[in-house]
Structure 1
Amino acid sequence: MAVLAGDIGGTKTLLQLAEHSSDGFVVLYEKRYDSRARATFLEVALDFINEAFIITNQRATSACFGVAGPVTARTAFTTNLPWTLDADDLQIKLGIEKVRLINDFQAAGYGIAELKEQDTVTLQVGNAIPQATQVIIGAGTGLGHAFLVWQGEYYEVVASEGGHADFAATNDLQIEFLKYLQTRYQWAHWERALSGPGLVNIFDFFVEVKHVQPSAEILAALSTGDKAAVISEFAINNKDKVAEQVLDLFIQIYGAQTGNFALLGMATAGVYVAGGIAPKIINKLSDGSFIRAFLDKDLRYQATLKAMPVKVVVHENVGILGAVLAASRL
């Protein structure tokens, strides 16, 4: 039985036709699209289905799409794209019997069950309590959060829009940054700091408020390339002192919010850090600064946090793994 799965992000959309076998899921056909180049998701999906049928001679009987944005009942709205998806409409127009829409981090949460040992990097070993709650958080184009709750046979994933909750500063520098965000935007939420655009906000804060001077090299690179990628690349390779300060503050805030979310979910079975940014800065995440910020809470809860396993997901397509799994359960 073939299933159609999708990971619909603010910059890219990955679609996959897959089927289940005794060895797990086998990918029959997949293709990546530039989300911003298409007017609607339906246009993308129809193109993919037609191409996939020509190549595989198979059609999906069920589909699940992970969407970067809130999902209400059977309708999804993409946060960083002008797309609206309706599951009932897609069932009819795609000719698929069952269609489910889930938040992209719900999809990533389902994908956790499909990960192999090499797909994660451990930041804190901890002492997992089997079948207790897990959480997943991840910065990329936006900031995703989801809870994983055991349901007797497998983990069910509960979506969250925690990235749009109010940003909370934990020290004087972060308070200055918070005030900067409040001046720059109507709302200062976590995604303003923990995302690709968030990295750029932190960089601008250091330049405009702290009056530090970036190198000519990074300014030239910023004028032509992806700003978040440039900042992280210069920081990781010690090519610019301002970029290094930016990444240090980013990691500090990332660790703090991951600790917050771990406590919100009492994630005693595990904390997973996913998203597009984490694999690119894995050495920095592993140097101890992230975990120090993660643990920097009320002393009464530090033992609880220390017992939680913390892992970085380095698999590039954990969301599509989860969407395939969710589609197979329809």
Structure 2
Amino acid sequence: PISAAAFGVAGPIVNGVAKITNLSWTIDQIEVAHALDLAADKVQLLNDLEAMATAVPFLLPEDVQTLNTAEPVAQRPIAVVAPGTGLGEAFLTWNGRRYVAFPSEGGHADFAPGDSLQLRLLNYLAPQYGHVSVERVCSGIGIPNLYAFLRDEKIAEEPQWLREMMDQVDDIVPVIIQHAFDKAAAVPICVQTMEMFAHILAAEAGNMALKLLSRGGVYLGGGLPPRILPMLQAPRFMELFYGKGRFAQLMAQIPVYIILNQRTGLLGAGYAALALDESL
């Protein structure tokens, strides 16, 4: 028999009720408990990023790609930055017995340009959005904004055949990524788009690390980092992560990992369920 259950869901959870972001679903923790014949305190709904973060302390070496040589410090905070469709951010702190994950809405904090090109990007997007969050430039929904900026501001040229190809699809992000990493014929505008994305991600991961002093590590999750691994392994990525002025030396002591295991959220939900079950 089932003794406890936890579910990672894509949406905010208020008082045990989740509204799913991209579906017209509402999931109620008490209704789920009733359906599973469990006590209400044996069922937990977690935000999907909270579920991913919950799994981080249990990831195996083969589940991650290490980007630098810094060593994690036991029981110190851990940061999770996860660009997928949106930009999810979470963190873990040690409660004396184990790590506990907390979700955040850090992806909706202000985008802070790191160079003159990014400043132009902010000025390009501000009239469209008013508030330009990091998510607008560092996620699956942000990549088309970077591409449009480079095209419209005449920073890079869009080939006609590529425009025609993009007109045929609903989601242009896979097209951009494919043509950024095509070893035989990479398209400059696609390469520049993904480089800009990687540079913004590096700076944002560094911001998160500074705010949390995450000596336990920074983990880059979500669907995008594993697909652009070569750009994250390029020296420039860690240079921008470390590039916090007087605190560069501190930043160099923080390990950075890419989560490769695409079932990390499921693992986290499993560990959350184990924590609910006092019989184990």
Per the normalisation by structure 2, the TM-score is 0.91
Q: Tell me which residue corresponds to 2:224.
A: 277
Question: What is the identity, as a one-letter code, of the residue corresponding to 2:268?
Answer: G
Q: Which aligned pairs between 1:43-192 and structure 2 lie closer than 5 A?
A: 60-97=2-39, 98-192=42-136
CA shift digits 1:142-177 (9 cap, x unpaired): 111111111222210111110111111121111111
- CA 1:220–1:114: 2 relative to 1, 3 Å: farther
SS of equivalent residue, structure 2 residue 91: strand
Q: Tell me which residue corresponds to 2:206.
A: 259
Alpha-carbon shift at residue 94 of structure 1 (Å) = 4.5
Alpha-carbon distance in structure 2 between the residues aligned to 1:254 and 1:81: 27
Once structures 1 and 2 are overlaid, which stretch shifts more, 113-122 or 90-99? 90-99
Alpha-carbon shift at residue 234 of structure 1 (Å) = 0.7
Once structures 1 and 2 are overlaid, which stretch shifts more, 259-268 or 122-131? 122-131
Q: Tell me which residue corresponds to 1:313.
A: 259
Once structures 1 and 2 are overlaid, which stretch shifts more, 75-84 or 193-202? 75-84
Q: Tell me which residue corresponds to 1:268.
A: 215
Query: Out of 245, 249, 257, which is 1:303 matched to?
Result: 249
The answer (yes or no) to whether the contact 1:138–1:273 under 8 Å persists in 2 is yes
Higher relative contact order (CA 8 A, sep 6+): 2
Alpha-carbon distance in structure 2 between the residues aligned to 1:259 and 1:268: 12
Alpha-carbon distance in structure 1 between the residues aligned to 2:101 and 2:199: 27
Question: What is the identity, as a one-letter code, of the residue corresponding to 1:161?
Answer: E
Alpha-carbon distance in structure 1 between the residues aligned to 2:48 and 2:262: 14
Alpha-carbon shift at residue 64 of structure 1 (Å) = 1.1
Alpha-carbon shift at residue 68 of structure 1 (Å) = 2.3
Once structures 1 and 2 are overlaid, which stretch shifts more, 126-135 or 220-229? 220-229
Alpha-carbon distance in structure 1 between the residues aligned to 2:98 and 2:212: 17
Q: Tell me which residue corresponds to 1:221.
A: 165
Runs of 4+ in 1 over 4 A off after TM superposition: none
Alpha-carbon shift at residue 86 of structure 1 (Å) = 2.0
Alpha-carbon distance in structure 2 between the residues aligned to 1:60 and 1:215: 56
Alpha-carbon distance in structure 2 between the residues aligned to 1:79 and 1:147: 21
Alpha-carbon distance in structure 1 between the residues aligned to 2:126 and 2:35: 44
Alpha-carbon shift at residue 323 of structure 1 (Å) = 0.6
Alpha-carbon distance in structure 2 between the residues aligned to 1:115 and 1:251: 24
Structure 2 residues not aligned, in runs of 5+: none
CA shift digits 1:37-84 (9 cap, x unpaired): xxxxxxxxxxxxxxxxxxxxxx53322111223222312233333333
Q: Tell me which residue corresponds to 1:236.
A: 181
Percent identity, aligned pairs only, is 34
- CA 1:303–1:216: 2 relative to 1, 3 Å: same
Per the normalisation by structure 1, the TM-score is 0.78
Alpha-carbon distance in structure 2 between the residues aligned to 1:296 and 1:85: 42
The answer (yes or no) to whether the contact 2:156–2:188 under 8 Å persists in 1 is no
Question: What is the identity, as a one-letter code, of the residue corresponding to 1:73?
Answer: N
SS of equivalent residue, structure 1 residue 124: coil
Structure 1 residues not aligned, in runs of 5+: 1-58
Question: What is the identity, as a one-letter code, of the residue corresponding to 2:27?
Answer: L
Alpha-carbon distance in structure 2 between the residues aligned to 1:165 and 1:262: 15
User: How many pairs were matched up?
Assistant: 271
CA shift digits 1:167-205 (9 cap, x unpaired): 111211111111222122242111111111111110011
Alpha-carbon distance in structure 1 between the residues aligned to 2:25 and 2:107: 20
- CA 1:82–1:193: 2 relative to 1, 3 Å: farther
Alpha-carbon distance in structure 2 between the residues aligned to 1:204 and 1:152: 48
Q: Which aligned pairs between 1:192-203 and structure 2 lie closer than 5 A?
A: 192-203=136-147
Once structures 1 and 2 are overlaid, which stretch shifts more, 100-109 or 64-73? 64-73
